[in-house]
Amino acid sequence: MTSAPRRGKSCSICGREGDGNLCKYHEEACRRLTKHYEAWKQRTGLAWNDYLAEISKNELAGRWVREAAEYLLEHEEAKAQRGPSA
């Protein structure tokens, strides 16, 4: 028996099928990270990259959220290295 062909793209984090660069689980994790950042910023004064670094190390955060934070942090660093025109 042959498996059905994949229709979507693969998640950049875990390889699951998704509609964009991420699967539905990591997409939701990124959405939640963005949504909750403002509250963290008001309480801690952390900048976005510092927030992502803290979340990625926080064992109380869920696995998908930690993985999404690492992914976003890597992409933010890559953007910074490319410069403002990227």
Summarised one tens digit per residue, pLDDT across range 14-47 is: 989 888 889 999 999 999 999 999 999 999 999 9
Sequence spans of domains, the chain: 9-82
pLDDT at 19: 81
pLDDT at 20: 83
% of the chain surpassing 90 pLDDT: 67
Q: Which residue has the higher pLDDT, 54 or 19?
A: 54
Alpha-helix runs per DSSP H in the chain: 24-44, 48-57, 63-82
Query: Whole-prediction pTM value?
Result: 0.77
